[in-house]
Each structure stands twice: as C-alpha cells, then as structure tokens.
Amino acid sequence: MRVYICFVVFLAVACGMAQNENGKVVPKITTLPIEEGAVTVLRLGAGYTTSVRMPEEISSVVIGNPASFKAEHSEAEPRLVFLKPTTTQAAESNALITTKSGQEISLHLISAGQAEGNSTVDFLLEYRSPNSVVIGSARTQGFLIPEASSIPPPAPVSTPVPAEKLDVVGRELERQKAVSSPAWEGTELLVAVGESSQPERKMLLRFSVLNNSRRVVELLPPQIEFRGTATHKKGKGRIKAEPIAISEYRMTSRRLAPGERADGVVVFERPAFKESTEQLQLQLAEAAQVDRPILLPVPFTATNSGGGQ
C-alpha cells in the first residue's frame, strides 16, 4: 500500500509538471512540524486531489464549507486525508483534522478555481511530530525518528501567574474563569458568550461551556461564522454561512466530565462591516455530534471598552 501511495504521488507530480510547461499548474510538496495554534494555508486546484499525511491515525475531519470542498478518509490508510474542491469557481474554507492522541491541524483551504496562468497547487502536505526529525529529503522520504529524551522530573505544584505576566489572551481567559454565573444557554451542553474586546484589528471573545449531561463530552475547537440571508433574483432567500479565520484559541479543557466546566478565548479578525441581516456567531460542537452544533450570536462591536474600537 505504501508503494502504491508513493506511485500515486509521483504520478500526480509528473502530471502537474507536464501541465506547468503549458503555464497552468505548479505542483508543491511540503513537510511541516505540528505547531499548536498554527493555521496552514493549503492551496487546492479544480481537478486535483491534495493529500495530507499525519504522523499518527486520524480520528475526525471537519470541513467548514462542505458545499465547495470534499474530504475523504479511509480506514485502510488511517494517516491520510484527501482534499479537493467540488466547484470550478474560486472558493475558501477552513478544515480541522484531529488525531487519536488529540493533536489538531487547522487548515485554511484556498482554491483559485480554473484561473488562467500559473497557479500553485499543494499535491502533498506531510506533517511530522514536534519531537521528530526527518532523515533525507522531505520530497523522497517520510521516515520519522523520535528524539531520545530523558524522563523529566515531577513538575512542581503550580502557582497562579500574576496578571501582569500573562499575555492578552491569558488575561482574558483568567477573567472568564473568574465569572461565577455565566448566562448559560442550551440543554445538555450549556454555552455562555462572555465579554469581547478588540485590541488593534483582532477580536477577542470569551466564552464558557458546561457539561450538563450524564456522559463525558469531547468538544471540537470553537469556530466563528458570518451568517445571513442572501436573496436570489427570483426573490427567494437562502441562509448563507461563511467561516471566519481563527488565529488563536485557548480552552481550559476540551474533555468534560458530567458537571464539569471549561472556559475559553477565541481570537479572530472581525469583518470591517456587515449588512443588517448578517451576524457573527460562535459555533461549538461535540466530536460525537458534529452535525448538531450550538450557535450563539456574537456582538459585532466589542463589549469591553478597554480594547481599541
């Protein structure tokens, strides 16, 4: 099976290089380390499949815009995900790949459609563990050798970090943890939107989650959507939802026991303007019920006057 995959990648690169001679596609193969909180831009092309290889088995794949992009994952190749656009028009979306150990890969998918001239398409994106090194060329080998490391001594009992030594996101997270009675909404999974601030061009939104069920809940990373109503030429309306790129998020926990609470902060770049029928929404979902997310409205203007407007 590994020989077959290498042959497919080689064939894809060969086809891409042949088309590049006619000024169409520039193929690219990349190897990256997994970095917490990083977002990788992945350039896709109409009529091409992009492969993403992880250093361990994959547990879930979520696409923000399934109408324009498709993800395929097979148990026969548990470390591979295949992504491709389903439209010939230019489109963007986000994608989240979660591994069985809990590692998360956040992708920003961009498809230029059937654009004229040269365009770069990522044929293969291979991730490696942060504590691993790659032997040989990243284009020809994918063997990972873990670094030898000694067992660290037991960590000392942690003490609260003074607020002045925390970064902006850390301070906002501590403020949300200090809220004793959030305005909960929901039934089994309770969610509360906290205050927001806007230092410079980034919006920082605080939130809390409470597991009100009798089972253990695993949460997916938070998402921000720009939702509204679009009107067709025939006068009929439809709901549109566009994902907003998240630059960073922090949560005290994503695995909640019954009755357990988690607090978080999400950082994103707010659109400069909106129509009266549009609004920002915070989306949270369980890993076991990704098709039933909880959506809560987010104020378009920061509620905390401490941040720049």
Residue spans of the domains in the chain: they are 2-146, 163-298
CATH class of 163-298: mainly beta
- Can you give 262-309 as a three-state secondary structure string? EEEEEEEECCCCCCCCCEEEEEEEECCEEEEEEEEEECCCCCCCCCCC
Name the residue with higher pLDDT: 149 or 237.
237
Position 158 confidence tier, pLDDT thresholds 50, 70, 90? very low
Question: How much of the chain, in percent, has pLDDT values that exceed 70?
Answer: 74
Token pair for 161:
């970090």
Position 145 confidence tier, pLDDT thresholds 50, 70, 90? very low
H or E element that contains 16 = helix 2-20
- Number of helical H runs and strand E runs in the chain: 2, 21
Pairing of strands 261-269, 202-211: antiparallel
Position 305 confidence tier, pLDDT thresholds 50, 70, 90? low
Nearest to 293 by CA among 213, 219, 228: 219
**What's residue 83's pLDDT?**
93
Position 25 confidence tier, pLDDT thresholds 50, 70, 90? confident
Q: Is the per-residue pLDDT at 120 higher than 90?
A: no
**What's residue 102's pLDDT?**
79
**What's residue 45's pLDDT?**
87
Token pair for 148:
């030898």
Contact partners, residue 31, CB within 8 Å, separation at least 6 = 126, 127, 128, 134, 138, 142
Q: Report how far residue 58's alpha carbon sits from residue 60's, in angstroms, rounded to the nearest whole number.
A: 6
**What's residue 209's pLDDT?**
95
| Residue 158 burial (C-beta neighbours within 10 Å; 0-12, 13-18, 19+) | exposed
Identical fold at 2-146 and 163-298?
Answer: yes
Q: Is the per-residue pLDDT at 149 higher than 60?
A: no
Q: Report how far residue 39's alpha carbon sits from residue 146's, in angstroms, rounded to the nearest whole number.
A: 24
CATH for 2-146? Answer: 2.60.40.1080
